[in-house]
Amino acid sequence: MASPEILRTLAARLDKDPGFPVENATPSFWQDPPHAFANQRSEQLPTEADVVIIGSGITGISISLHLSRIDPSLKIVMLEARAAISGATGRNGGHIKTVPFSDYGSLKAKSGKESAIKITKFRLSHLDVIVKEAELLGKAGEVGLVRRVEALCGVYDPVAWDASKNSLQDWFEDFPEERSNWTAHEDPLKLKELGLINASGCIIGPAGAAWPYRFLGVVLSKLIEEGHVTLETHTPATGVERTQSSTHPYQIQTARGSISTKHIIHCTNAHAAHLLPALRGALWPLRGQMTVQAMPPDFPRVGATRSWSAIYANGFDYITQSPGEDGSLYLGGGFGQGGLENEEDIGSTDDSQLSIHPLRHLEAVPGKVFANAEGSRVERKWTGIMGFTGDYMPVVDRLTADISGRAECDPAVGGEWIAAGFNGYGMVHSWLSGKAVANLLTGRETEILDWFPRQEFACSKERLAELRAGPLDHFFK
């Protein structure tokens, strides 16, 4: 249990202005080489748009794609403070994965069975949807940007293993159709066959692995080429004003000039509270550490078909592998492994620095959890900034005046929107959250009723008050 003084210190960081993304971020393996459009921007900033999207990650790109499918005539401008797709989407672990049984019980207890089922189905559905999008791109399959894998959740603590087994069985009670997709194993011979050492048990289920920077780059490149999106990189939005215009009620300021627009969509995740101060303390940043680790020759090359999680008494790590012959592991996590007195990642938006204690932990992970992994070595290391909320739920909604601080306008004319706070699980929240926003913005609410957890992801005053009341509860009990 963390001391009250430490918790107060950590909680105080969450109320701060997250500011803009820092310059000179640690170089991410995924972004090498950069896209041809990575630093693209117009000679003159557009002065008018139908929709301005702030942020060029998976959420903003999804919104752009789905808007272009609904109404190809929309003029969309995308603002990015740094290079394109340079934030969390270009710095994450490469998983398309949820562990549905792990938090289903708490979801059900807090929100009820109906909501828990809807949220879980929403997360699980991302794998099929993203795989389908990759197939539609054609060449995505050729370069292995998105693939289905068998995900091994190794549990390295006996108490945590008992809890995982019980949670799995409880989840099956409401999801009997998933029984054939998930299996639990604790026989030592089976664990050895799976290449795991020191594990109390393992749960295996479906997941996906991806190179998000490249996958989203293919999507964004196509949107730019077809004229659906005007990309303006190195152009942070410095302010938002509500104007008296009857056609373009918002104005966004940048150092390069202003843009008048009908709609603004905040897709900056951990940085959203910079332009929306009402979110401070409710939606906050957390820095994550990633590595690429070279593996010895006798370590299995199974990255085309497998991924892993390593779950401990406190915390977990996430691991994918190169689908090629090199067999490198893409390994991230290590949060909190240095002890709360050394915790520097909560509230941090500085991805120009590495996370010392998580990195030290990650360097030793392969030899502790895998057979035939002795001699692994870190070849690349970088950090990225995630956006967290106190209830582990994203914030996806039209903004009211008491949240934005700006007078609302006629929904038939325009509006201000947000899709952020994906809690380190952006690949199973962001894409369909973007689709939901696109439908809501164009007045197609009935299109999302069956699958989008709108009430649970709402950005209401009441929910924000709850988030501020105990923002660290799910980390430190």
pLDDT in tens, 357-370: 999 999 999 999 99
Q: Look at the chain and report how many structural domains it folds into.
A: 2
Residue in the block written with tokens 């990189």: 233
pLDDT tens digits, one per residue of 178-190: 999 999 999 999 9
Cα 91 to Cα 122: distance, rounded to the nearest angstrom? 23
Residues 279 and 312 in one domain: no
Domain that holds residue 257: 4-91+214-283+391-469
**pLDDT score at 5:** 83
- Are 462 and 426 within one domain? yes
Same structural domain, 202 and 324: yes
Cis peptide before 285 (omega within 30 of 0): no
Rounded CA-CA distance 267/250 in Å is 17
Average pLDDT for 27-51 = 97
Residues 189 and 298 in one domain: yes
* Average pLDDT, integer, range 23-37: 97
Q: Are residues 37 and 19 in the same domain?
A: yes
Question: CA 49, CA 73: separation in Å to the nearest integer?
Answer: 11
Question: What was the pLDDT predicted at 477?
Answer: 46
83 — phi, psi (to 5°)? -75, 160
- Is residue 332 within 8 A of residue 289, CB to CB? The reply is yes
- Both 14 and 80 in one domain: the answer is yes
Q: What is the mean pLDDT of residues 326-334?
A: 97
Residue 11: the pLDDT is 83
3-state secondary structure of 98: coil
* 210 exposure class (CB count in 10 Å sphere: 0-12, 13-18, 19+): buried
- What is the biggest distance separating any 2 CA atoms in the chain, rounded to whole angstroms? 71
Whether 258 and 321 map to the same domain: the answer is: no
Is 346 domain-assigned? yes
Task: Identify whether residues 314 and 355 lie together within a single domain.
Answer: yes
Which of 348-385 are b and which e, b meaning 16 or more Cβ less than 10 Å from the residue's Cβ? bbbbeeebebbbebbbebbeebbbbbeebeeebbbbbb
Tokens standing for residue 448: 């999302």
Q: Tokens standing for 168?
A: 């799995």
Residue with tokens 């190169």, as numbered in its chain: 322
What average pLDDT does the segment 304-319 reach?
96
Whether the CB-CB separation of 99 and 470 falls below 8 Å is answered with no
Nearest to 235 by CA among 49, 401, 389: 49
φ, ψ of residue 399 in degrees (nearest 5)? -85, 135
Query: What is residue 157's predicted lDDT score, i.e. its pLDDT?
Result: 97
Given a cut of 80, is residue 219 above it in pLDDT? Answer: yes
pLDDT confidence tier of residue 2, bands split at 50, 70 and 90: low
* Pair (292, 194) in one structural domain: yes
Question: Across-strand partners of 266?
Answer: 54, 418
Q: Which range among 130-139, 379-388, 463-472 shows the weakest confidence by mean pLDDT?
A: 463-472
Task: Tell me which of 355, 388, 421 is where a domain ends.
Answer: 388
Q: Which residues pair with 320 in a beta bridge?
A: 330
Q: What's the number of CA atoms in the CB half-sphere (13 Å) around residue 378?
A: 15
pLDDT confidence of residue 473: 58
| pLDDT band for position 407 (cuts 50, 70, 90) | very high
Domain end (from 361, 388, 415): 388
Q: Judge whether 246 and 409 are in contact, CB under 8 Å.
A: no
Tell me: do 292 and 274 sit in the same domain.
no
pTM (two decimals): 0.97
Per-residue pLDDT band for 4 (boundaries 50, 70, 90) equals confident
Per-residue pLDDT, 141: 55
Residue 340 has pLDDT above 80, yes or no: no
pLDDT (0 to 100) of residue 8: 82
Distance, in Å, from the CA atom of 18 to the CA atom of 276, rounded to the nearest integer, reads 10
Q: Give domain status of residue 115, yes or no.
A: no
Higher pLDDT, 475 or 3: 3
Is 109 a domain residue?
no
308 dihedral zone (left: phi>0; alpha: psi -120 to 50; beta): beta
Give the CATH number for residue 399: 3.50.50.60
Dihedral angle of Cα 125, 430, 102, 177, to the nearest 10 degrees: -10
> What mean pLDDT do residues 327-344 have?
88
Res. 342: pLDDT tops 90: no
DSSP string spanning 294-313? E--TTS---TTTEEEEEE-S
> For residue range 423-441, what is the model confidence (pLDDT) as tens digits?
999 999 999 999 999 999 9
117, part of any domain: no
Q: Which residue, among 463, 469, 467, has the nearest Cα to 402 in the 3D structure?
A: 463
CA distances from 39 to 46, 84, 266, 463 (A): 16, 6, 20, 37
Answer yes or no: is pLDDT of 263 > 90: yes
Indicate the residue among 336, 365, 388 that finishes a domain. 388
First to last CA, the chain: 6
Alpha-carbon distance of 228 to 213, in angstroms, equals 20
More confident position, 288 or 339: 288
User: Does some domain include residue 475?
Assistant: no
- The Cα-based distances of 302 to 35, 299, 324 in angstroms read 27, 9, 9
Is 223 contained in some domain?
A: yes
Helices (H) and strands (E) in the chain, counts: 12, 17
Q: How far apart are CA 357 and CA 56, in angstroms?
A: 30
Rounded distance, CA 195 to CA 203, Å?
14
**Same domain as 171, residue 307:** yes
**Has residue 380 been placed in a domain?**
yes
CATH number, domain with residue 293: 3.30.9.10
Q: Over the chain, what is the mean pLDDT? A: 95
Mean pLDDT of 91-115: 96
- Same-domain check for residues 188 and 302: yes
Indicate whether 270 pLDDT > 70: yes
> Within a domain: residue 316?
yes
Quick one: pLDDT at residue 469?
A: 65
CB distance 182 to 101 below 8 Å: yes
DSSP 158-191: HHHHHHHHHHHHHHHHH-GGGGGG-EEE--HHHH
Who has greater pLDDT, 8 or 102? 102
pLDDT at residue 310, rounded to an integer: 98
Residues linked to residue 241 through DSSP beta bridges, in sequence order:
251
